[in-house]
Structure 1
Amino acid sequence: MADVTTTRPPVWRGVLDRIEAARRGDSSESLAAVFVLAATVIALVWANSPWGWTYDAFWDIQLAITVGDAGIDLDLQHWVNDGLMALFFFVIGLEVKREFAMGELRDRSKAAVPLAAAVAGLVLPALLYLLLNPSGAAASAWGVVISTDTAFLLGALAVVGPARAERLRIFLLTLAVADDVGALAVIAVVYTDELSLVPLAVGVLGLLAIWQLRRLRVWRGGGYLIVSLITWVAFYESGVHATLAGVLIALLLPVYPPKRALVERAAALTRAFRQSPNPDYARSARLGLERAVSVNERLMRLYQPYTAFIIVPVFALANAGVPLTAETLRASLTSPLTWGVVLGLVLGKFVGITGATALFARLRPGSLAPGLRIPQVAGGAALSGIGFTISLFIVDLALDDEPLLADEARVGVLAASVIALVLGAGVFRLGARLGLEPEEPSMELLRPVDPHRDHIRGPVGAPLTIVEYGDFECPFCSKATGSIRQVRAHFGDDVRYVFRHLPLDDHHPDARSAAEVSEAAAKQGRFWDVHDAFFAHNDALGREDLLRYCAELGLDVDRIEEDLRDGDAQNRVADDEIDARTSELPGTPTFYLGANGSPPRRHIGPYDADTLIAELTRLREAASDPV
């Protein structure tokens, strides 16, 4: 059996190494949350130190950028909130676009539960806030309670969440994306100042120019950058909050999986450089590699670490410095605004998300992802009360002319974040203490066999079931195919065989690609043909080999290439892989055996044909025994 091995980095590593790892795309949500938390603590200490007056004095410094008679003159805080945060919202827009195009939100059936939970988590907090603040200047700040800070949420989940929480993490990520869309819509509609039509028209023309660049298949970032800067300035001058320009631009940028022709060209250019290293070939190879990846993914990989580790911490430093004087705390303790923020973020998110998820799961049984339970969702819902970044951002928009109310709102945001963290940890701990969160993974098959989803050999309703988690490049899995043939020959139509994916990337570099190609072939109804071919050639599964086997089997290779681009195959393989990791499978092949409708259980021990036949026979007899 091929083992699943995981390597963990040392606990203590240099901060610079961690940042560089993040820049390469291996960013850690918990590390990003630590940076924001550190910036928040520094802001609070600074604002409440003997030199606290310098906090406001520093962020009130004016900085003007002018060209001739035109220019923008802002204080440092608003350069952060209106300028740097535009890049933050740009990255959010890139993530939203990618999720809708290739990620979890592409499959509406899978996204239905977190989307419903997100809507409830937007509406109920706002209603609870308005219950305490129905009128006056404070009423305009209801948007403060609607959004969740994704970085803090995922960082807190990593620290206080349960083991085997990957499904919960995906659920919360999907929910957070929908949450961001709702918050951005509220900012656009509710917190827009008076409109200036001429600059707005220029901004719209800028967006149309970006759309045209996309239609022309411009792939270099420079052209998009110039038009984006002009669009940002136009939106700022129009009165529409400039950060929305970042979101709209991101939503227009193209996103797609790498195209085969472009990947092959990049490989050829790289080979040419290796054979004859020179500046011209180096530039061609670099441009070829960049062109093979969509603008969306290149920009997200480039900017995401900087927004996580620089921009958001700087934003926290500029906005979290509330003077916690006795007067401020006294006013906050009796302020409907402060308590409205706490009630909305803590109770509204907890009840709204948990209640909507439980209701949806009851109305549509099986709608929750395998391994995801309501107690887990409740803990994640509690952590969703950490609003922080966008909450503080909306405080600045809603209460810019009310500094005392703004301080009360910021105290509410900070208090709610602490309470939500404690509540989330408590819910997770209570679930574990009550046995609602098992200490060990179940030996039963996590995801029931689904004829509409699974690849099944044999009668769908057969009384005996074999489920294998396998890897096309695994030599043990290849040998196990012989055992399965003998078992199926022995039981005939009394057994059904189900294959699921568990590519071991550390050991088998081509296994994932083979799994994804097999899923693309399944769309042509030929999964089992390529399954047999790939195992027959499990020592030669390069991309060209895989496509050649498909062509030899008479499949439409161009269609396979197209189906690989839409992301469905990758998501399906990832789904099986997450199920396997949640169940803590020891490696490949891993078999589950079941009889007469009982849930298949993990088979421990040899998997030769005689052993599997004997175990299935025993299970059938045990299931038929009335005792």
Structure 2
Amino acid sequence: MEADDTRRGKAAPSRFGRDPTAARGGENTAAALLLAFTVVAVVWANSPWADSYSEFWSTEVGLRIGDLHAEMSLKHLVNDGLMTFFFFIVGLEVKSQFTIGELTDRARAAVPVVAAIAGLIVPAVVFLAFNPSGDDARAWGVVISTDTAFLVGALAIIGPQCPARLRTFLLTLAVVDDVGALLAIAVFYSDHVRLVPLLIAAVLVAAIAAVRLLPAGQGPAYALLSVALWVALSMGGVHSTLAGVVVALLIPVFTPQRQRVEEAVEVIRAFRQSPNSEYARAATRSLRDSISINERLQTGFGSYVSFFVLPTFALANAGVHLDGETVAAAIRSPLTWGVVAGLVVGKFVGILAATALVRATGLGVLAPGLTLRRVAGGAALSGIGFTISLFIVDLAIDDPAKQDEARVGVLAASVLALAFGWVTFRVTDWLSPPVSVGMTLIREVDPDRDHLRGNPNAPLTLVEYGDFECPFCSRATGAIDEVREYFGPDRLRYVWRHLPQERVHPHALDAARASEAAALQGRFFEMSVRMFEFQDYLEWEHIYRYADGVGVDVARFDEDLHSPRVLHRVQDDAQDAELMDLGSTPTFFVNGRRHEGPWDAASLIRALEAPNQPDG
């Protein structure tokens, strides 16, 4: 999928740009694996072989070179070493989202960003209400972070109605949540700071930033300097895992550039005509260079982090000894209850209240179709704190008994948040059930947003969900022209919305984006007609020619193609279609009701003239 997207020049920012089915399947599997290793850790720590759990993770491992040597336990190797890769992937994700992803759209991003900030602050305040002073107060960081892997897995398990936009909202929120947690670790949980190693680290950071200027050998340079930075931060008293974040934020990210993609195509064409090792190496290099190193690293390391690093971390950290003494101490402990209340109550109240406030004040907007009730279920699930919560337990608390109490709180809060989320979704689905899914247009026509022909206030409305590569949509254009001529522009408004069928039409999404880029210059329908006319030729080289032919500024068109505004516009229509369970194109809505049966001109005219049709 990614190789094909690259060939067509498709902008596909990390989480939100991948094949949704494959991405969700991988996330759900990763969440299931994380849960399984958590259960194994708890069972192991409470089995007759419980002593072996502690002994194993306390095993010292080291490296000696002459008189120099370094040692650490297996648990510290996991927490300080392997988890650096986790924070590296988080940093790549953050950089990608702020540069080319959801967080570049300020109005759309404002709501989850503010909600995430409130979801960091309110849980900490709730925790401090239970632990206002003393050593336990330092553990407030345990409650600030949501576990993204468990969050998306829980959302899939619960299966609320119409989850698409909520999932995007929660993933955007999770990115900001991760940023806040990383800052908290850097500022509040780094001790014994040493100046000289940190100065060396600063020099290494500057060197890493300059690696992008190297004509070759960037990969080895990044690797060598990153290891040196990890050592410098560790010696400087700053938690070494932050090296992963720093390096990730310095790695460049960009959407595939047309020139590089075309150069790759030319090299591949040469290899196809004359296969040899020289062309093979050149083709591999050109394909690699057409995609940003940020995206390549996410693809290369992401699965290892999801399927190895995080399960290993869970196995090393979730082994709470749940004997009677530990459970009794946890039940009486303000630390445990502070963790539970902070995650379950604080996350829910903070995220939901902030979302309502931002929306009410107009500082941000929710995506079309996303309601406050739907956000409530996601806010409840956000109380599932695990990976970073358990990570901070070790940083914030020194007493092993207190650590167990905090871990009990994290595990209990995660279970309660899952149950709370399930109940919230079931109640909200019951309070606002969908009526005849797919039979009613869920989003009314908006003349300021929709692509519309005819009088915006016309009494009759015909909405089409279509695909520029669909031959049936192409044939339907003639019938639509007849219908528009029959009623005239004052009686009928015709609206086009996108439903790209990527599985069967590989160029459909590209064509939809091209139409939206043309629309920003007032040429939507002109571009649409041209692409329907030549729908067997929708490669990028053809699309740019069509754009030039309908009179758009090609340079601006090229820039707009890669803008989040264009991608979100297409995704909004496609997600509407998903909410209505639309699976084929063309699909018509006549005065707000789904049209069933033939869509020839005569049938559409009869449907539009039928009495008692609700207005769209």
Q: What TM-score does the superposition give when structure 2 sets the normalisation length?
A: 0.92
Question: 1:27·1:305 contact (CA, 8 Å) conserved in 2?
Answer: no
1:218 and 1:441 map into 2 onto residues whose CA distance is: 55
Question: 1:253·1:295 contact (CA, 8 Å) conserved in 2?
Answer: yes
- Give the Å deviation of 1:509: 1.5
Cα deviation 1:584-607 (Å, max 9, x = unaligned): 11311112233xxxxx23222222
1:316 aligns with 2:314: yes
Q: How does 1:261-340 map to 2 (within 5 A)?
A: 261-340=259-338
What code does the residue aligned with 2:602 have? Answer: D
1:544 to 1:342, Cα distance in 2 relative to 1, 3 A: same
Question: 2:91·2:244 contact (CA, 8 Å) conserved in 1?
Answer: yes
User: Which of the numbers 595, 601, 612 marks the counterpart of 1:603?
Assistant: 595
Cα deviation 1:473-531 (Å, max 9, x = unaligned): 11111122122222222322333222111111122122111111112222222212111
Identity %: 54
What code does the residue aligned with 1:587 have? Answer: S
1:584 to 1:220, Cα distance in 2 relative to 1, 3 A: farther
2:100 and 2:471 map into 1 onto residues whose CA distance is: 32
Question: 1:520·1:560 contact (CA, 8 Å) conserved in 2?
Answer: yes
2:530 and 2:217 map into 1 onto residues whose CA distance is: 37
- Give the Å deviation of 1:93: 0.9
What is residue 3 of structure 2 aligned with on the other side?
Answer: none
User: Which of the numbers 387, 396, 410 marks the counterpart of 2:394?
Assistant: 396
1:603 and 1:450 map into 2 onto residues whose CA distance is: 20
1:504 aligns with 2:501: yes
What is residue 613 of structure 1 aligned with on the other side?
Answer: 605
1:42 and 1:622 map into 2 onto residues whose CA distance is: 57
What is residue 537 of structure 2 aligned with on the other side?
Answer: 540
SS of the residue corresponding to residue 472 of structure 1 reads coil
What is residue 479 of structure 2 aligned with on the other side?
Answer: 483
1:438 and 1:497 map into 2 onto residues whose CA distance is: 25
1:469 to 1:263, Cα distance in 2 relative to 1, 3 A: same
What code does the residue aligned with 2:201 have? Answer: G
1:482 and 1:26 map into 2 onto residues whose CA distance is: 39
1:253 and 1:440 map into 2 onto residues whose CA distance is: 48
Cα deviation 1:139-177 (Å, max 9, x = unaligned): 000010011000001101100131321111111111111
What is residue 6 of structure 1 aligned with on the other side?
Answer: none
1:442 to 1:362, Cα distance in 2 relative to 1, 3 A: farther
Question: 2:460·2:615 contact (CA, 8 Å) conserved in 1?
Answer: no
1:622 and 1:426 map into 2 onto residues whose CA distance is: 34
What is residue 551 of structure 2 aligned with on the other side?
Answer: 554
What code does the residue aligned with 1:444 have? Answer: T
SS of the residue corresponding to residue 146 of structure 2 reads coil
- Give the Å deviation of 1:364: 4.0
- Give the Å deviation of 1:30: 1.6
- Give the Å deviation of 1:397: 0.8
1:395 and 1:622 map into 2 onto residues whose CA distance is: 57
1:100 and 1:471 map into 2 onto residues whose CA distance is: 30
What code does the residue aligned with 1:533 have? Answer: R
SS of the residue corresponding to residue 371 of structure 1 reads coil
- Give the Å deviation of 1:273: 2.6
What code does the residue aligned with 1:428 have? Answer: F
What is residue 108 of structure 1 aligned with on the other side?
Answer: 106
SS of the residue corresponding to residue 560 of structure 1 reads helix
1:391 and 1:623 map into 2 onto residues whose CA distance is: 51
SS of the residue corresponding to residue 231 of structure 2 reads helix
Question: After alignment, is 118-127 or 58-67 more displaced?
Answer: 58-67
Question: 2:45·2:321 contact (CA, 8 Å) conserved in 1?
Answer: yes
- After superposition, the CA RMSD in angstroms is 2.4
What code does the residue aligned with 2:444 have? Answer: P
Question: 2:479·2:601 contact (CA, 8 Å) conserved in 1?
Answer: yes
1:282 and 1:117 map into 2 onto residues whose CA distance is: 49
1:450 aligns with 2:442: no
SS of the residue corresponding to residue 489 of structure 2 reads helix
User: Which of the numbers 413, 421, 426 marks the counterpart of 2:423?
Assistant: 426
1:439 to 1:300, Cα distance in 2 relative to 1, 3 A: farther
What is residue 474 of structure 1 aligned with on the other side?
Answer: 470
Q: How does 1:97-176 map to 2 (within 5 A)?
A: 97-176=95-174
What code does the residue aligned with 2:300 have? Answer: L
1:80 aligns with 2:78: yes
1:344 to 1:623, Cα distance in 2 relative to 1, 3 A: closer
Question: 1:455·1:498 contact (CA, 8 Å) conserved in 2?
Answer: yes
1:523 and 1:438 map into 2 onto residues whose CA distance is: 34
Question: 1:29·1:154 contact (CA, 8 Å) conserved in 2?
Answer: yes
Q: How does 1:585-604 map to 2 (within 5 A)?
A: 585-594=582-591, 600-604=592-596
1:525 and 1:623 map into 2 onto residues whose CA distance is: 27
What code does the residue aligned with 2:457 have? Answer: G
What code does the residue aligned with 1:509 have? Answer: P
* Structure 2 gaps, min length 5: 1-18
1:26 to 1:65, Cα distance in 2 relative to 1, 3 A: farther
User: Which of the numbers 434, 441, 445 marks the counterpart of 1:438?
Assistant: 434
Question: After alignment, is 132-141 or 246-255 more displaced?
Answer: 246-255
1:172 to 1:437, Cα distance in 2 relative to 1, 3 A: farther
What code does the residue aligned with 1:429 have? Answer: R
1:113 to 1:68, Cα distance in 2 relative to 1, 3 A: same
Question: After alignment, is 404-413 or 161-170 more displaced?
Answer: 161-170
1:345 aligns with 2:343: yes
* Structure 1 gaps, min length 5: 1-20, 595-599
Q: What TM-score does the superposition give when structure 1 sets the normalisation length?
A: 0.90
- Give the Å deviation of 1:414: 0.7
Question: 2:141·2:392 contact (CA, 8 Å) conserved in 1?
Answer: yes
Question: 1:103·1:571 contact (CA, 8 Å) conserved in 2?
Answer: no
What code does the residue aligned with 1:593 have? Answer: V
What is residue 375 of structure 1 aligned with on the other side?
Answer: 373
- Give the Å deviation of 1:623: 6.6
What code does the residue aligned with 1:554 have? Answer: G
What is residue 514 of structure 1 aligned with on the other side?
Answer: 511
1:461 aligns with 2:457: yes
User: Which of the numbers 574, 579, 582 marks the counterpart of 2:576?
Assistant: 579
Cα deviation 1:8-45 (Å, max 9, x = unaligned): xxxxxxxxxxxxx99x9675222111111111111111
2:236 and 2:556 map into 1 onto residues whose CA distance is: 46
Question: 1:64·1:72 contact (CA, 8 Å) conserved in 2?
Answer: yes
Question: 1:44·1:322 contact (CA, 8 Å) conserved in 2?
Answer: yes
What code does the residue aligned with 2:558 have? Answer: E
Question: After alignment, is 495-504 or 134-143 more displaced?
Answer: 495-504
1:217 to 1:613, Cα distance in 2 relative to 1, 3 A: farther
SS of the residue corresponding to residue 444 of structure 1 reads coil
Question: After alignment, is 453-462 or 546-555 more displaced?
Answer: 453-462
- Give the Å deviation of 1:291: 0.6
